[in-house]
Amino acid sequence: MEGATLRVRDHGGTPREVRDRGVAERDRPGGGRGSAVRLTGVSPESGWTGLSVRTALANASTRPGLRLPGRVTVVAGSTDVPVLHVRLGLVTTAEPDDPEAPRRLVQFHQATVAGGFVLRAGRGRSIPFEFPLPWETPVTVFGGAPLLSLRMGLRTEVAVEPRLDQGAMVPVFVHPLPTQAHVLAALDTLGFSMRQAGLVDARLPGVAQTLPLHQRLGYWVAPLYAGPITELELIFIAEPAGLEVILWLDRRLALAGITHQSISRFRVWHVGADKRDWIATVDAWLRTAINRHAAAAAHADWSATISGSAHVSRPPDEPIHPGFGLGGTAGSGGIGGSGGGDGT
């Protein structure tokens, strides 16, 4: 069991900042130990509660759409403790939409595992839970190794009269869905090299999302596809039936100090993922996206910087219909030419 300990004392002032070590101390799946966190709060009426809270996970490795099983154990000290609720939340570090602002800790999903109760002095209570992970939960592990510096934790929040205390975090390792893993493996096989992985605390315009943030995986472009583009960003938007893959293409002209960007969106279903030729599928997506990118660039005004998207593959509010993007092959016209599977 993976665990973390939270100690709460209650006294009228504002709780001090929590020292959350759990995620940082655990750099690889299966390694490390849980973290101990002390919370301080003040209440002249109740004094020291001495409440001890321990959160343990049956398995810290999971995938989007699954449930994370575990248990919260609370033990009272020398006095009765009125607990309003016990809540769990997924926490990670994300970049704000403003590129100039620093990264910040964000709780992007939460669930209440216990309502109000009174914990008698010296008594304990065990609260089992199955915490549901959203389908859009960012991936932090691929191939058994962390995706660069991405970290995520499950934080236990105990509301004790009269204050709300947020505290201990245990690390959570989110592995990709099979469809996501196939796309990542195909990019690796095609020669793309991951250069960065990050989370942006903002929604994508025109994209149906349930979470307030999204994940971006940046790649150096493989030699076969270089020329029309210099950088690729990959965004996954998963849901129960399938996966939307967003390819954000960029071509930077360093000497001119200008850039041209374009976005293409593709769809694939989870059913039958193991039977698909993923190299051909991803190659077709790339060629289609690059063809569009090159066509848009040919009509772009290169006398000024293009800071936004110069081309979107389809109207943002147009639904993605079943069957699209599931059988594309490489275009005969080659990269920057014509032809190729559409995928939208």
According to the 3-state scheme, what is the secondary structure of 250-268?
A: EEEECCCCEEEEEEEEEEE
Q: Residue 205's pLDDT is what? A: 83
Q: How confident is the model at residue 175 (pLDDT cuts 50, 70, 90)?
A: very high
What separation in angstroms does the CA of 199 have from each of 54, 94, 147, 226? 28, 5, 12, 26
DSSP three-state, residue 195: strand
Q: Is residue 50 part of a domain?
A: yes
Residues 158 and 183 in one domain: no
Q: How confident is the model at residue 294 (pLDDT cuts 50, 70, 90)?
A: confident
Contact at 8 Å (CB) between 243 and 177? yes
Domain range enclosing 25: 2-174
Mean pLDDT of the region 230-250: 93
More confident residue, 288 or 293: 288
Q: Is residue 342 part of a domain?
A: no
Residues 25 and 161 in one domain: yes
Whether 26 shows a pLDDT value over 50: the answer reads no
Report how many domains make up the chain.
Answer: 2
Residues 189 and 280 in one domain: yes
Residue 172 to residue 58: CA distance in whole angstroms:
11
Residues 158 and 187 in one domain: no
Distance separating the N- and C-terminal Cα atoms of the chain: 44
Q: Residue 184's pLDDT is what? A: 97
Residues 156 and 200 in one domain: no
DSSP annotation of 147: -
Whether 11 shows a pLDDT value over 50: the answer reads no
More confident residue, 261 or 88: 88
Claim: this prediction has a pTM higher than 0.75: no
Which of 288, 311, 285, 308 has its CA nearest to residue 298? 311
Q: Is residue 318 part of a domain?
A: no
Q: How confident is the model at residue 251 (pLDDT cuts 50, 70, 90)?
A: low
Residues 74 and 214 in one domain: no
Q: Is residue 341 part of a domain?
A: no
